Structure 1
Amino acid sequence: RLSNVLKRFARRHPDVALTLRTATSAEVSDLIRRGEATIGLRYDRDRSRDLDCEVLFAEPLGVVCAPDHPLAGRRVGKLADLRDERWIAFPEVPGRREITASHVFALFLTHGLGEVAWTPVDSLTAQKRLVEAGLGIALLSQSNAAEELGSSRIATIRVGDLAASHEVVAVTRHGGFLSAASRRLLDILRADFTKARGTNASRRNGVRRA
């Protein structure tokens, strides 16, 4: 999705030099705060007063597993059916807003379940490689798992009572200057993510748009 936004912006503004950096959510906030980036995209709001945050989209989360997992491509009725699995997640680190082990634990507690076995892995790429190898299952966003799902290196487990998501947020410096090009990029991001929000809502309601 982001690549489409960037392509569209580059076509409309060929004279603007646009650079892209990847970072964790906490690092994105720091880059904006230091003025090293103008617009950031991160998960969940940063409550710092020196930043402005705008929620663009609530991205669905799903359970992924190895292609040869007994439940690969299948549906289970309840999250409780996965309580005996080993989960792979980010360790809890102050300021990190990625999907940490505490996020997974909170889901199980919400469903009246106890703690689960888990392996802390501080790298998204490493998490996906461990899932591929059958060493655990993970809770990932659609965008983070898209490449591996598309190449069938990992598979999904649909969970009947799981409705988990996390917010994708645009971050800018509070009171900071935004050029006309920066404001245009924000407008394109808003329009694109608003469209995605409407499409996902239609799918959840059983409506498909031609």
Structure 2
Amino acid sequence: MLHSRLLTYVDEVARTGSIRQAASHLNVAASAISRQILALETQLGTPIFQRLPRKLILTAAGEILIGHIRQTLKELSRAQAKIEELKGLRRGEITLAMMSGLASNLVPGTVKQFRTANPRVKLVLTLLATGEAIQTAVASGEADLGIGFDFAKDNNLKVLARANGHLGAVMAPDHPLAKRASIRLSDCIDYPLVIADRSSAIRPYLDSAFAKLSLDPQPVIETNAIEIMRHAAILDNGITFLTPFDIEFERRAGRLVYVPVRELSHDAQTLILIGHQRGSSAIASVLTEMLKTTMMSELIS
């Protein structure tokens, strides 16, 4: 704070051209400002003000210094504003755009943790159908953050976190294949299959893997809703194909298990958390860190 006070003194003298006027504006003694500036000039080994009969003007060294001072004061002001937000002195609002599959799994646990720590902050959680829609919402400022799979590169957006999740077989804990360490796609064919439809980012991986094995799966359900895929696996003794991120809640509750599939071991969807290139508020940064932690812990668990 002593350092910022000195910067403020120099800035105000440069603006007013007078130590007395600066002292009046800042409500401090002129002698205190004068002492601080003289001490700074001694430390630098050169004057920063040229002292004319009725005005002080910056020297060449002073011009260099004042640019640094004003930038530092701006950064300090931004930092103080963010600290105020973190202290809960402002209510704030964060909009998070997400893909539907994450709405009942990875995101809710993080939201609960965030709300406990920041009860005065309003969260707006928006489901969007495609990655493109999420990216557009963040780029336009309609959303502060976006989370989803396999986003395309966009120079207006910053990748805040990423984690790869391998597709695997998902089934109820009492399914005949549930206890295996890994399975093959051919093991799944004799059971009811619940498969993502062709609008889903998951489907190309499955089509490629089945085609390489010359297998022709006949799904009992084909859907673009991950919620339906999860529930069908629980209730109909079926098998579906998802990443660990898609079933985080059900896994922890013991309602579904994830079994690696050998033919899908090299196929991964990338879960990506994005923000605008210009940055976000301090309170949005707190949510970002919590989401990062959840993403990484889900890979480890």
Secondary structure of the structure 1 residue equivalent to 2:213: coil
| Aligned-partner Cα distance in 2 for 1:150–1:188 | 18
- Asked if residue 170 in structure 1 is aligned to residue 270 in structure 2, the reply is no
Superposed, 1:5-154 pairs within 5 Å as 5-26=110-131, 27-66=133-172, 69-75=175-181, 77-83=183-189, 85=191, 87-93=193-199, 97=201, 99=202, 101-109=203-211, 112-117=212-217, 118=219, 119-134=221-236, 136-149=238-251, 153-154=255-256
For 1:15-66, what per-residue CA distance to the aligned partner results, in whole angstroms no more than 9, with x for missing partners? 4322223334424223323422110111123223433334432234331235
User: Shift of residue 87 of structure 1?
Assistant: 3.5
Of the candidates 284, 291, 294, which is equivalent to residue 189 of structure 1? 291
| Aligned-partner Cα distance in 1 for 2:291–2:242 | 22
How much identity, in percent, do the aligned residues show?
A: 21
RMSD across aligned positions (CA)? 3.4
Identify if the C-alpha distance between structure 1 residues 138 and 191 changes in structure 2 by more than 3 Å, giving closer, same or farther.
closer
**Which structure features the higher share of helix residues?**
2
| Aligned-partner Cα distance in 1 for 2:256–2:281 | 41
**TM-score w.r.t. structure 2 length?**
0.51
Preserved contact between residue 75 and residue 160 of structure 1 (Cα < 8 Å): no
Secondary structure of the structure 2 residue equivalent to 1:129: helix
Preserved contact between residue 66 and residue 155 of structure 1 (Cα < 8 Å): yes
Preserved contact between residue 188 and residue 239 of structure 2 (Cα < 8 Å): no
Which runs of 5 or more residues in structure 2 are unaligned? 1-105
User: Shift of residue 84 of structure 1?
Assistant: 5.3
Identify if the C-alpha distance between structure 1 residues 107 and 129 changes in structure 2 by more than 3 Å, giving closer, same or farther.
same
Secondary structure of the structure 2 residue equivalent to 1:21: strand
**TM-score w.r.t. structure 1 length?**
0.68
Identify if the C-alpha distance between structure 1 residues 66 and 185 changes in structure 2 by more than 3 Å, giving closer, same or farther.
closer
| Aligned-partner Cα distance in 2 for 1:145–1:195 | 14
Which runs of 5 or more residues in structure 1 are unaligned? 201-210
| Aligned-partner Cα distance in 1 for 2:261–2:158 | 35
Identify if the C-alpha distance between structure 1 residues 13 and 66 changes in structure 2 by more than 3 Å, giving closer, same or farther.
closer
Identify if the C-alpha distance between structure 1 residues 14 and 135 changes in structure 2 by more than 3 Å, giving closer, same or farther.
closer
Secondary structure of the structure 2 residue equivalent to 1:19: strand
2:272 alignment partner AA? V
> How many pairs are equivalent?
192
